[in-house]
Amino acid sequence: MRWIYLATGWLALGLGIAGIFLPLLPTTPFVLLAAFCFGKASPELHARLLAHPKLGPPVRNWQERRVIPLSAKLLATLMLVPLFLTATIYSRFTPMVNAVLLATGTAVLLFLWTKKSR
């Protein structure tokens, strides 16, 4: 299992870093997944991720207090709402796919906004 956790952790971390540069790919969920996997497979990698100056603080906030900063909530909302609305209004998706897109976006925003900010 250790190798599966390591492989999943590295894949998640790679996707999280790619998400910094690609607007449709989220960063934080993948970094949190990487932290979980590294915590199971390698305490050293987990500690290195927590010590990272940019990626570490959000992971520590989540692990210690289940906190999502207000700035992250606002940024996610400002990116998700136009993305999902544009996708459903201007796409050629079926009504069912549009409903799934809107339900997913709504679920993500409800999750974000029901968590503590500090």
pLDDT tens, position by position, 56-112: 998 998 889 988 888 888 888 888 888 888 888 888 889 999 899 889 889 988 988
Q: For the residues 21-46, what does the mean pLDDT come to?
A: 89
CA distance 47 to 15: 19
| Residue 46 confidence class, pLDDT cut points 50, 70, 90 | very high
- What's the pLDDT at 91? 84
- Please name every residue paired with 14 in a beta bridge, in sequence order, or none if there are none: none
Tell the residue number behind the tokens 């549009």, with chain if given. Answer: 98
Domain boundaries of the chain, sorted by first residue: 2-65, 70-113
pTM: predicted TM-score of the whole model, two decimal places: 0.72
3-state SS assignment for residue 67 = strand
Side chain identity at residue 102, one-letter code? L
87: which 2 tokens? 């996708």
| Residue 45 confidence class, pLDDT cut points 50, 70, 90 | very high
Mean per-residue pLDDT of the chain: 89
Shortest CA distance to 88 belongs to which of 21, 80, 108?
A: 80
φ, ψ for residue 26 (rounded to 5)?
-75, 145
pLDDT above 90: residue 34 = yes
